[in-house]
Structure 1
């Protein structure tokens, strides 16, 4: 006897998720996880701010980008929510009207957490590559590392890894650098304060 095909998650399933959870549809499966922890939220806000002035507004940098925090992206059959995303202005000349965006960003950043690590390093990286997103950053606030990738020939090429004490100068935002440590307003809990 043949088994029934597994039911694929629908947008109605996503809309029914409680508001204190982030919901995505990845490979036909509804994935939910809690809202970000304070460290995660703080790092996201600070990174967005570091990029917005020089790259979004052109203050001290080239400008030409539009940034969004946690946009709902519809990429083919997938509904994903990166922590941060950026579009070159020419690819997004006007503000989207709807609740979601179908134009893939030129850059996405995932801030890793225990509840999203598997998705961010696994299926979402593949989905972003399939959508043709040119750059991906993975920021781990617990390990205090930032990895920058470029999509090359359909595969992710690691451009560099930034750790504490180093400047962030990774494509596509390498025209203006900033201190990586500025993303962390609190002392590293693994390092005793003197």
Structure 2
């Protein structure tokens, strides 16, 4: 933060134009427009897939609270991952309070990388997630069709696996069920049938 510049506050987030997402990282406001369509598609498909099997337990083991774009408050830090999840046993009363934010660090976060956010997502945000005790982080790149899976280690994040393309994978912490990566990527337009 520059000399003489005041720390960002939650009022700065509230003052953003409609449709903008605000985060406060190290007392600095990061204002980002709503994500591109392909970014939204990947996050939505992953949320539905994991949410049905691990959130509500339809055709899978359940056991998780999975939330799209939760606002996380860690002291003065305000972060908004694309997806986050808490294990039921660690957060049984997660939804008992009525605030529009969460102050308990999730067990898993997923950031969908965009050209405008990749540096922040890979850098300071990933560092803060580790600092707050998040046990797993995923970085999804919808343009490169890749998924990086990280596990929290004592000194930092450990890259567990890098997957891509059309692979069918098992990725921590949701490795109890297979995940079809090909289903995440935005569908390619198909030509209309000829008459």
Give yes or no for TM over 0.5. yes
Partner of 1:76: 75
Alignment of 1:34-183 (within 5 A): 34-94=33-93, 95=95, 96-183=97-184
Deviation readout 1:115-139 (Å, 9 max, x if unpaired)? 2112101100010000000000000
**Structure 2 spans left out of the alignment, 5+ residues:** 190-195
Runs (4+) off by over 6 Å: none
3-state SS of paired residue (2:89) = helix
**TM-score where L is the length of structure 1:** 0.91
Partner of 2:10: 11
Aligned-partner Cα distance in 1 for 2:88–2:6: 38
Deviation readout 1:109-162 (Å, 9 max, x if unpaired)? 000001211210110001000000000000000111000000011410001011
Aligned-partner Cα distance in 2 for 1:74–1:154: 23
Aligned-partner Cα distance in 1 for 2:115–2:18: 20
Would the aligned equivalents of 1:75 and 1:102 in 2 still touch at CA under 8 Å?
yes
Aligned-partner Cα distance in 2 for 1:10–1:93: 30
The number of residue pairs the alignment matches comes to: 186
Aligned-partner Cα distance in 1 for 2:9–2:25: 11
* Aligned-CA RMSD value: 1.5
Would the aligned equivalents of 1:130 and 1:154 in 2 still touch at CA under 8 Å?
no
**Structure 1 spans left out of the alignment, 5+ residues:** 189-194
Aligned-partner Cα distance in 1 for 2:44–2:148: 18
